[in-house]
Amino acid sequence: MKSIFSLLALFFVATITFAQAPTNTSDDLPFAFILGEHADAYDAMTQDYSNMLLDECDGDMQKAYTKWMSMLTEMEAYAKEINYNLDGIQIWMNVFWNTDGSIKHIAFYTKPESKVVPLDELTAFIKSFGKQYKFPLLADEEYVHYGHAFFPTAPKRVAHK
């Protein structure tokens, strides 16, 4: 009788252990991905990031905006270097940084008014940019920014005749 209880107890513990949902971490996420993909892992990761770019800029909106725009300008310069045309692309972008300014993940989604581009190519570009880029801000904690990106970042001057 004792062995039956032991066997039932073992079965009960094993059932509970295997029935638990696996935990999602940012390690489950690709470096660059489209918002809406990997929803569970993304949601879990956002819970880990309470520190925002604005927090790291001591609440100074102008400083945070300037840093954000500097990254978008660097992204645009990188696109020109590798001959990838960003003009007309408009995206929502969530960038998750490590404390040293390196990028941990970039999640994005094209805005409805964006130029239509193959998403696999845009994802590859964003991944390529993010792997080689380092944000000019060191922090004590990992931080995130949710923002828009419009390309070109500055209006182009048209010559009038």
- Do 105 and 25 meet the contact criterion of CB atoms below 8 Å apart? no
Q: What per-residue confidence (pLDDT) applies to 26? A: 56
pLDDT score for 159: 66
- On whether residue 159 sits in a domain, the answer given is no
Could you tell me the residue range of the domain that residue 52 belongs to? 23-150
Q: Cα angle at 30 between 24 and 31, to 5 degrees?
A: 120
Is the CB of residue 49 less than 8 Å from the CB of residue 144?
yes
Whether 146 is covered by a domain: the verdict is: yes
Q: Does residue 49 form part of some domain?
A: yes
Angstrom CA distances, 49 to 43, 98, 127, 141, stand at: 10, 10, 20, 9
| Alpha-carbon span 30 to 131, nearest angstrom | 12
* Residue 82 belongs to a domain: yes
Establish if 5 belongs to a structural domain.
no
Rounded Cα–Cα distance for residues 60 and 53 (Å): 10
Q: How many domains would you assign to the chain? A: 1
Which pLDDT belongs to residue 16?
37
Burial of 90 (0-12, 13-18, 19+ CB in 10 A): middle
| Residue ranges of the chain whose pLDDT lies below 70 | 1-27, 155-161
| CA nearest to 103, candidates 31, 40, 41, 50 | 31
- The answer to whether position 155 is within a domain reads no
Residue 133 lies in a domain: yes
- CA dist 30 and 107 (Å) reads 9
Q: Output the pLDDT for position 1.
A: 52
